[in-house]
Structure 1
Amino acid sequence: MVPAVNGDWLIRGRDGRLSAYALSGEAVHCRAERHPGGAWLPSRRMGGEQRLLPGLAVGQGADSYAHLVAWRPTPGGEAGLVHSTHFRPHLAPLDWLPIGHPNKKGERTGMPAVAVDAEGRAYVFVRNRGKGVQTINQKERGGWNGWHDLKGSRVDEELVAVTGESGRVEAYATNPDGILRWHQQEPGARPVAADPLPVRVAPGSLSALPTSKEYTTLYFTDPEGTLYAWRPDGDPIALIAAAGPGPVAVLRCVLEGHDCTLLAQRSSSGRVAFAAYPTEQESAGLWWTESGPQLPVGSRVALAEDAEGRVVAATSTADGELRLARQKEEPGLALAAWQVV
């Protein structure tokens, strides 16, 4: 199942406010805190009156600006990609601006993914008509460079894009032979293909998290439901049975003074399952702990830190109900009761 939003849909803005993005009907809507840690404002439509097709990508740069990418319908039953920038949660975002089609024109080809480099330039990745991968990126002084073919074959629809602690952009995809990876070798350069990882992987199960200056850790599930962590130059590490289908939400945070990686996923029971372990120390082991009410199939889970550094977990249902649970001010990962906002 391809998610309604690709990327971190719950983010903290430059002013410390949390905001949550959702594609509802034919428009993107945003909810934001009135002030950091406070009540939430009503939902509002983003990017003007442009009608959109299914699939939204969200990426955030070091400047905390949110970059949104989606498909819009074009004449003749075709589609094109559009981009908008949201500078602060309480401000209106820019209108949607067209950035084209990976094959110049045609129908929607796949879920886009977006990452933002250290200079604030957005890089968009999307599957093309031939089931390879194309990319396009912003110029340093405005506008966009042309589309570039990254190759690849038989690529599944969902891609993952991430910016490492180095500020360089990476992208990942799956195909029947395993996992494909592209990465920048220097800032501003076009991403290039790395050696593929020959593993059995469930499509739509990828998520990625920068875990050190050297590495991004990729998480994926195999067809039997085992969750793995993998860093380039190493072997995949089996972690635990996945709590449920789809990708895990991932967050790097400090728990009891330790640098930890937190995972969250809608479990097969319908509740949100959490697990944590010391970052890049998978051998320490981890286990799932469930929290909150049962959620409908297709509900989304996200993790973020608020302005005070507390972990915030969020869920969003297909009908737009947003729930939050915030970390208590006590040792460990104790969450306050889930609240509808």
Structure 2
Amino acid sequence: MNVDWLIRGRDGRLSAYLLSEATVRCRAEHGPGGSWDPPRTVGGDQRLHSVLALGQGPDRYTHLVSWRPTVKAESGLVHSTHFRPDLAALDWNPIGHPDRTGDRTGNPAVAVDAQGRAHVFVRNKGGGVSMIAQKEKGGWGPWSDLKGHDVRGDLAAVTGTSGRVELYAAVPGGVLHWSQEEAGAVPALDEALEASVRPDTLQALATSAESTTLFFTDDSGDVCAWRPGTRPVTLLASAGPGPVRVIRCELDGHDCTLLAQRAASGRVAFAAYPTEEESAGAWWTESGPELPADALLALAEDEEGRVVAATLSPTTGELRVTRRKDEPGIALEAWRAV
């Protein structure tokens, strides 16, 4: 899954989205620290491939995108919207293929702009990136070829504080960055970073009114932060081999960026630092039980503004959650299975 599978809905409840065989299932929390609903199928009976991307806009609607099989050796992208955890999501709606026809070309990514329009990005057969976006008055616009070359691994789509959409992609020896000049515009390729980047480790976060920050792991195993227009900064050594998850939150009255990663020990490691002040440094602190090797990790804030961390094993379906205590630092409650 592409990053944000734990999402706070319009009614304040947290929902966890998981892939189960050929369908997407959703579990919703009744309230902060409360019980969780049993899994429900999202988007109807459409058979899907085992890939899922999620995004959310200011209206707090959840947008889901996946690939579905069409005819032999071919696939197409489909989209659904989940307005609230206690409502059924819309049925899967076909949105086409970046090359008109063909099989899957890569994992999609989704970002939602300030007007609530989903932007779906996916690698095309030429090795660049294509995009399709919702129109302001409904429906979908045409596919746009955003160019690029030799794109590898998952894409990182993000909506800045401005409400405009940006995209990052790993390529051999660096990262490509696209951004919108104005709302609704086709994102333009505007900067390339030369750096050693491990594919499938990218995550982007809106960190100020002017900037988004890309987090990635380099070939030496260090977690790095990069804002277009600046040089990348080495933040700290990776806690483990998996991707880092990030969230911007308030800790002890300060605007901070919180990182989480499955550590080499199998537990979850956390680190925090003042947002956009990488020079302040960050240090890992491990928490919780040892996790299955396939466990996914996510971060969110509940309706009370408390950071929630969750892990999910696709093999067993086990969902575990913890919340930050009302104490200084990154003090967490005991992890519990739900």
CA distance in 2, matches of 1:35, 1:91: 16
CA contact (8 A) 2:3 2:245 kept: no
Structure 1 position 36, deviation (Å): 4.3
CA distance in 2 between partners of 1:247 and 1:210 (Å): 18
Amino acid at match of 2:290: Q
Q: Residue 32 of structure 1 corresponds to which residue in structure 2?
A: 28
Aligned partners of 1:36 and 1:93: how far apart in 2? 22
Quick check: 1:336 aligned with 2:333? yes
Report whether the alignment pairs 1:52 with 2:45: no
The alpha carbon displacement at 1:176 in A equals 0.6
Q: Which runs of 5+ in 1 are unaligned?
A: none
Alignment partners' CA distance in 2, 1:35 and 1:331:
23
Alpha-carbon distance between aligned partners in 2 of 1:37 and 1:240, rounded to the nearest angstrom: 32
Report the Cα offset of residue 18 of structure 1. Answer: 0.3
CA distance in 2, matches of 1:155, 1:271: 31
Are positions 1:291 and 2:252 aligned together?
no
Structure 2 CA distance for aligned equivalents of residues 24 and 180 of structure 1: 32
Residue of structure 1 in register with 2:14 after alignment: 18
Q: Note if contact 2:52-2:108 (Cα within 8 Å) is conserved in structure 1.
A: yes
* Distance (Å, rounded) in 2 between the aligned partners of 1:249 and 1:90: 27
1:301 counterpart residue number: 297
CA–CA distance in structure 2, aligned partners of residues 306 and 37 of structure 1: 9
One-letter amino acid matched to 2:306: R
Q: Tell me the equivalent position of 1:104.
A: 100
Tell me the amino acid that sits aligned with residue 327 of structure 1. R
| CA distance in 1 between partners of 2:327 and 2:42 (Å) | 37
Counterpart amino acid of residue 188 in structure 2? V
Aligned to 1:151, the other structure's residue is in SS state coil
Q: Is 1:312 equivalent to 2:312 in the alignment? A: no
Partner of 2:74: 78
Specify which of 37, 41, 51 is matched with residue 41 of structure 1: 37
The 8 Å contact of residues 316 and 322 in structure 1, kept in 2 or not, is answered as yes
Tell me which residue corresponds to 1:126: 122
- Structure 2 unaligned runs (5+)? none
Aligned equivalent of 2:176, options 180, 188, 201: 180
Q: Which runs of 4+ in 1 moved over 4 A?
A: none
Deviation sequence 1:277-325 (CA, Å, 0-9, x none): 0001111111000000111112111111111111100001122110000
Q: Which letter maps to 1:253?
A: C
CA distance in 2 between counterparts of 1:129 and 1:245 reads: 28
User: What TM-score does the superposition give when structure 2 sets the normalisation length?
Assistant: 0.98
SS at match of 2:146: strand
Amino acid at match of 1:289: T
Aligned-pair CA distance for 1:37? 3.9
Contact 1:37 1:306 in 2 (8 A): no
Q: Distance in 2 between matches of 1:7 and 1:267?
A: 17
Query: Aligned partners of 2:248, 2:202: CA distance in 1, in Å?
Result: 17
Where does residue 165 of structure 1 map in the other structure? 161
Which residue identity is paired with 1:192?
Answer: A
Deviation at 1:333, TM superposition (A): 1.6
Q: How does 1:139-288 map to 2 (within 5 A)?
A: 139-288=135-284
The answer to whether the 8 Å contact 2:207/2:213 transfers is yes
